[in-house]
Amino acid sequence: MATPDAFSPDVLQRMEEYRHKGYPLLPDSLLKTPQQIQGIRESGRINVAVLDHVAERIAAGVSTEQINQWVHEETLRLGGIPAPLGYQGFPKSVCTSVNDQVCHGIPSPDVILQEGDIINVDVSTIYNGFFSDSSRMFIIGNTSPKRQRLVRITKECVDAALEQVKPWGRLGDVGYAVHRHARKNGCNVVREIGGHGIGLAFHEEPFVSFVSHRNSGLLLVPGMVFTIEPMVNLGSAHVYVDTDDGWTIYTADGSDSAQWEVQVLVTETGCEVLAW
């Protein structure tokens, strides 16, 4: 159980007022206590360090299996456990999604990064029972202006979303900020897959949509922890699952896709990025 008494009395009173007005709120049990937040923060630090470790090494000629080994070994070295390994049968310690792969790509010795590729490396860590999850895009050498732009716009979508993360904001505004920026730039946002609450489990409530409407959805309150991880396509928003491996999501039209993932805490004054 979260202890709402960890928050100042006016925060509690304000939550009660909104509840009475009929705003949807996350159950108190999913709000994080200061101790839990400290644990999640430490987990997030490892997650960031593992992504930094990858960033220092990733290059043309490297296989995605090599990335998997870096992530696996560095996570263990820092005292963590790679959360993807064995998660619902996922066979590897990290997701690596290249070009038209949208997410959940499985590392393989057969996938060798080529100059011009864009790749999402999605790292998730369990540390002392606390979960963290963030991902970055990497551009391999020089790439096309179209791909560069897709990677940049998708990151800007996350920046725009973060501006909406503050107490008494609405979760719908977070997704709206993503959708608006993507559409303004002629890109399309994947609807089927979204962000999620996280902390004591890998995936908690709520589902975080990136095609939501303004002034809708859950009320944001201090102690909420969730991910913002939009998948943005240059072409159609439609996607499909690779039926051979059961995991990899591809764009339906073969267009390129990018994703950045940040893990964020709603504080009493705004937000704190726990992992990126």
In angstroms, give the least distance from the CB of 12 to Co ion.
29
Q: Is the dihedral of CA 40, 70, 49, 155 positive or negative?
A: negative
For Co ion, how many residues bind (rule: CB under 5 A)? 2
Please identify which residue in 101, 227, 257, 259 interacts with Co ion, judged by CB under 5 A: 227
Q: Which stretch binds Co ion (CB under 5 A): 96-104, 186-194, 219-227, 236-244?
A: 219-227
In the three-class reduction of DSSP (H, G, I as helix; E, B as strand; rest coil), residue 73 is classed as helix
- Smallest gap from Cβ 158 to Co ion, in A, equals 12
In the complex, the smallest distance separating the C-beta of residue 261 from Co ion, rounded to whole angstroms, is 5
Residue 101 or 143: the one with the smaller Cβ distance to Co ion is 101
CB of 167 to Co ion, least distance (A): 22
Q: Is 27 left (phi over 0), alpha (psi -120 to 50) or beta?
A: beta
Q: Which residues from 94-153 bind Co ion, rule CB under 5 A?
A: 133
Residue span binding Co ion (CB under 5 A) among the ranges 107-115, 179-187, 222-230, 244-252: 222-230
CB nearer to Co ion: give 111 or 123: 123
Cβ at position 47, least distance to Co ion in Å: 11
> Residue 123 or 182: which CB sits closer to Co ion?
123
The least distance separating Co ion from the CB of residue 102, rounded to whole angstroms, comes to 13
CB closer to Co ion out of 15 and 158: 158
Rg, the chain, Cα only: 18
Q: Among residues 101 and 227, whose Cβ is nearest to Co ion?
A: 227
Specify the residue, 164 or 227, whose C-beta has the smaller distance to Co ion: 227
- Rounded to whole angstroms, the Cα distance separating 253 from 234 reads 10
| Pairs from 190-196 (Cβ < 8 Å, separation ≥ 24) | 190/102, 190/230, 190/231, 190/232, 190/233, 190/237, 190/239, 190/257, 191/237, 192/239, 193/102, 193/103, 193/231, 193/239, 193/249, 194/229, 195/226, 195/227, 195/228, 195/229, 195/230, 195/261, 196/226, 196/227
**Residue type at position 77:** R
Question: Could you tell me how far CA 54 lies from the centroid of its own chain?
Answer: 17
We find the least distance from the C-beta atom of residue 190 to Co ion, in angstroms, to be 13
Question: How many CA within 13 A on the CB side of residue 55?
Answer: 12
- Judged by beta carbon, residue 95 or residue 237, the one nearer Co ion is 95
Q: Smallest Cα–Cα separation from 196: which of 119, 267, 132? A: 132
Which residue, judged by CB position, is nearest to Co ion in the bound state? Answer: 133
List interacting residues with Co ion (CB under 5 A): 133, 227
